Amino acid sequence: MTEVLTQEQVARYRRDGYLILERRLDAGTLAALHAEIERYTAKARGLTEGTDELDLEDSHTPDDPRVRRIKLPHTHSEVVRDLMYSDAILAPARDLIGPDIRLHTTKLNMKEAGHGAAVEWHQDFAFYPHTNDDVLAIGVILDDMTEENGPLMVFPGSHRGPVHDHHADGMFVGAMDLGRDGYDMADAVPLVGPAGSISIHHGRIVHGSAVNTSNRARRVLFYEMMAADAFPIMGSMTKFPDIHDYDARMLCGAPTLTPRLEPVPVRIPAPHPPIGKTIYEIQKGAGSRSFDTV
């Protein structure tokens, strides 16, 4: 029995590693999220460097503020936090990874018109390997996401393959070398859909996105989560101080002290740059790039 997904959607997710659920957010919630973005971007004016809340584009200046990411928005935005606990987010997640779910992290990637930064190809599971791969990211699509404005792109089925090398010069850089790993960009699928839609991608799927050179913003709010019995493996780029913190991350269902060990491929993301750097900064260490920079 599922709550919101059809058996066909569940089967498709297992096969392809992603889903798009169109128009899942009501207009009021979408408007409230847009208002939150306005509130945060206003805070960027005058800043000379990023803050705990805001990650800034390389081209940001105090007079021409450019926010690249709102960091951990569930910790400072009630709107984002309320949505995180809602069935709009959790019901499809439960249909895919079961009733007991912990939060991994949240982020709102901005990709403003004309300059929003690219994210190089990677697998989330390379950043945070776990004892099983019931790990996924739900993306709340806040602007119409089309092929033009830097949509998230995935390689269907790649979540069933290896965890690829994300190192360069002996350091974890959070980016793959597509050519070396046998992928052809032409096989990537853009995840498109109208504002208010939801994307879901598997933690092991290879994904990335290009610079937004269009004249329309592309903002996506990501909720990343895992089954309660998926425990992090050494070197994970997300640090959980203790079991109390870990259990405080329960989004629904019951916590456990018994990790489920599955024969999933794992690479240790170490040594890695200092914790707290965003993916945009970490990926600057990559030896080759698939996307332009701004």
Ligand X SMILES: O=C(O)CCC(=O)C(=O)O
| Interface contacts to ligand X, rule CB under 6 A | 107, 109, 119, 152, 207, 209, 220, 279
Residue among 70, 160, 78, 83 nearest 111 (CA)? 70
Give the list of residues 6+ apart from residue 73 with CB closer than 8 angstroms, or none. Answer: 36, 53, 80, 106, 107, 108, 221
Rounded to a whole number of angstroms, the minimum distance from the CB of residue 152 to ligand X is 4
Q: Buried (b) or exposed (e) across 205-235, using 16+ Cβ within 10 A?
A: bbbbbbbbebebbbbbbbbbbbbbbbbbbeb
CB-closest chain residue to ligand X:
209
| Closer residue to ligand X (CB): 142 or 230 | 142
Rounded to a whole number of angstroms, the minimum distance from the CB of residue 32 to ligand X is 21
Rounded to a whole number of angstroms, the minimum distance from the CB of residue 135 to ligand X is 13
Give the list of residues 6+ apart from residue 86 with CB closer than 8 angstroms, or none. Answer: none
Write phi, then psi, for 36 (nearest 5 degrees): -60, -40
Rounded to a whole number of angstroms, the minimum distance from the CB of residue 122 to ligand X is 7
Rounded to a whole number of angstroms, the minimum distance from the CB of residue 255 to ligand X is 25
Residue among 175, 176, 275 nearest 235 (CA)? 275
Whole-number Å distance between alpha carbons of 212 and 253: 38
Other CB atoms within a 10 A radius of the CB of residue 276 amount to 10
| Closer residue to ligand X (CB): 167 or 218 | 218
| Closer residue to ligand X (CB): 124 or 229 | 124
Rounded to a whole number of angstroms, the minimum distance from the CB of residue 161 to ligand X is 17
Whole-number Å distance between alpha carbons of 108 and 152: 13
| Closer residue to ligand X (CB): 109 or 131 | 109
| Closer residue to ligand X (CB): 107 or 167 | 107
